[in-house]
Copies of this chain bind each other. A is one copy, B any other.
Amino acid sequence: MTVQITEVRITPVAVKDPPLLNSVGVHEPYALRAVIELYAGPDLLGLSEAYGDDPSLERLRRVAPALIGLDPFDVHELHRRTATALGEAPEDMPTDMIGPPSASKTLAATFAAFEVACLDLQGRAIGRPVSDLLGGAVRAAVPFSGYLFYRWAGHPGHPDDGPEALTPDSIVDQAKDLVARYGFGSLKLKGGVRPPDEEIAAIRALRAAFPDHPLRLDPNTNWTVPTSIHVGTELAGVLEYLEDPTAGLEGMAEVARAVPMPLATNMCVTTFEDLPAAIEQRSVQVVLSDHHFWGGLRESVILAGICRTFDLGLSMHSNTHLGISLAAMTQLAAAIPNLTYACDTHIPWQVEDVIEPGVLRFVDGSVPVPTTPGLGVTLDRDALARLHEQYLTCGVRRRDDIGYMRSIVPSWSGIRPMF
């Protein structure tokens, strides 16, 4: 069977994003994504979704011409072509949440964007879901965690789009709403926003309201080591895991020795190069995988094998994403036996999407794994055109939570650790 890529389309889109607060600032009114279409002839299409900021887009476009004629089954050749097109220079990453930029990170992220589309193409070509290309689904539905954010009611100058959440009670209200609508069986609070004792109070309020829900807290390294140990000690027996309380492998190792719960990360272990030192120092106990920056779905399977081998827990990280990425995350999570924690997702916060509705849905907090070929999702071309138009007019070209916050709060430093 011959399959060759004949056309590559990369379409940046902007989707409305609420004013979600995090350790460095606040989400801008629009979040950017790139929709990738790989055609193998007129009727065979593989989809992917990637970062849509300017540097990421430029890299995708630099690689795209090299993909014409590629066999989508040959992802090793895809990797070679991507590496050749990108060269060796470290370049901007779409978020500093995954550590300093490096050439290997930009290669991994750019390759991943196309690899997912190649696996979608493979699955469509052979009539198999992507999970079958990864060894087969070990679960019929993938559990996700309800992602709670401190937030404003609306962006300055825009209409309010939801209730403000800045207190423990309002976080509980937000959780009740998400659980009611999606059925989430576990909850994660994006922390590092309010003073630590307020966030401890929020977690305790969640525990009181949801006695049986596993709970997570993620301050995105906005705490010093002593603050991290204080919070971890206070929340002993309450948190399923504490995520990236402080920066760096050494700091994380120090916290890990002092607190009773596992430490999870998507910030100090974000590449394969980070793993040896993290394992040697016992800095983390749970890795939050993310195929977008770990080099795609097959590399994520290798990461899972490493976690299994070194007795590390495995969960899944999420940045703002749409339905194509949700499908990829679901197919991947379905095929990893040792992905035993509910995955993160930003999906409840995005009201716009580029896929035809109905395929991906939440049932009791889990997404049933599509069993149709490939990722299982289809582009909604009207939505794609509309969200691309929104991209053209929205003015946002790279994510800048710090700069946006400074435009509202001029004294904002965004320098971590704040607490």
Q: Are B74 and A136 in contact (CB under 8 A)?
A: yes
Mark interface residues in A335-359 (1 if CB within 8 Å of B CB, else 0). 1010000000000000000000000
A77: Cβ under 8 A from any B Cβ: yes
A298 and B135: CB pair below 8 A?
A: yes
A75 vs B275: C-alpha distance when bound (angstroms) = 27
The segment out of A60-68, A158-166, A176-184, A300-308 that lies at the interface is A300-308
Contact with B along A295-335 (1 / 0, CB 8 A): 00011011101101111000000000000000000000001
Q: B-contacting residues of A (Cβ < 8 Å)?
A: 1, 71, 73-77, 125-128, 132-133, 135-138, 272-273, 275-276, 279-280, 298-299, 301-303, 305-306, 308-311, 335, 337
A138 CA to B137 CA in the complex, in Å?
A: 27
* Nearest Cβ on chain B to A419's Cβ, whole angstroms: 34
A73 near B309: Cβ-Cβ < 8 Å: no
- 5 other contacts beyond A71-B132, A302-B306, with CB at 8 A cut-off? A73-B136, A74-B132, A276-B309, A280-B280, A301-B302
Task: Tell me whether A71 and B136 are in contact (CB under 8 A).
Answer: yes
The reply to whether A310 and B276 form a contact with Cβ atoms under 8 Å apart is yes
A73 adjacent to B335 (CB under 8 Å): no
Q: Which chain B residues border A76 with CB–CB below 8 Å?
A: 135-138, 335, 337
The reply to whether A272 and B128 form a contact with Cβ atoms under 8 Å apart is no
The residue from B137, B273, B308 contacting A272, defined by CB atoms under 8 A apart: B308
Chain B contacts of A302 at CB under 8 A?
Answer: 301-302, 305-306
Closest to A1 in B: B127
Give Cα A276 to B136, complex, Å. Answer: 27
Q: A280-B280, A301-B302, A302-B302 are in contact. Are A128 and B73 (CB under 8 A)?
A: yes
Q: How far is the CB of A156 from chain B (nearest CB, A)?
A: 45
CA distance A205 to B310 in the complex (A): 43
Contact across chains for A309 and B127 when beta carbons are under 8 A apart = no
CA distance A302 to B301 in the complex (A): 8
Is B275 a contact partner of A309 (Cβ separation < 8 A)? Answer: yes
Task: Kindly report which residue of chain B lies nearest to residue A273, judged by CB atoms.
Answer: B309
Do the beta carbons of A73 and B308 come within 8 Å of each other? no
Q: Would you call A309 and B309 a contact (CB within 8 A)? A: no
Closest CB in chain B relative to A115 CB, distance in Å: 10
Cα A279 to Cα B71 in complex, Å, equals: 36
Q: Which of A280, A305, A306 has the most CB of B within 10 A?
A: A305
- State the CA gap A299–B308 with chains docked (Å): 12
Measured CA separation A75–B298 after assembly (Å): 15
A75 to B301, CA, bound (A): 14
Residues of B within 8 A of A128 (CB): 1, 73
Enumerate chain B residues within 8 angstroms of A306, measured Cβ to Cβ. 302, 305-306, 309
Chain B positions within 8 Å of A125 at CB level: 126
Chain B residues whose C-beta falls within 8 Å of the C-beta of A299 in the assembled complex: 305
Nearest residue, chain B, Cβ from A76: B136
Set of chain B residues within 8 Å of A280, measured between Cβ atoms:
280
A272 vs B74: C-alpha distance in the bound complex, in angstroms?
27
Q: Are the C-beta atoms of A272 and B309 separated by less than 8 Å?
A: yes
Q: Nearest chain-B residue to A70 (Cβ)?
A: B136
Which B residues lie within 8 Å of A275 (CB)? 309-310
Closest to A276 in B: B310
Can you name 8 A-B residue pairings with CB atoms under 8 Å?
Answer: A1-B128, A74-B137, A75-B136, A76-B137, A76-B335, A133-B133, A302-B305, A306-B309
Q: In the complex, which residues of chain B have a beta carbon less than 8 angstroms from the beta carbon of A77?
A: 136, 138
| A75 near B127: Cβ-Cβ < 8 Å | no
B-chain residues with CB within 8 Å of residue A127 when the two chains form the complex: 1
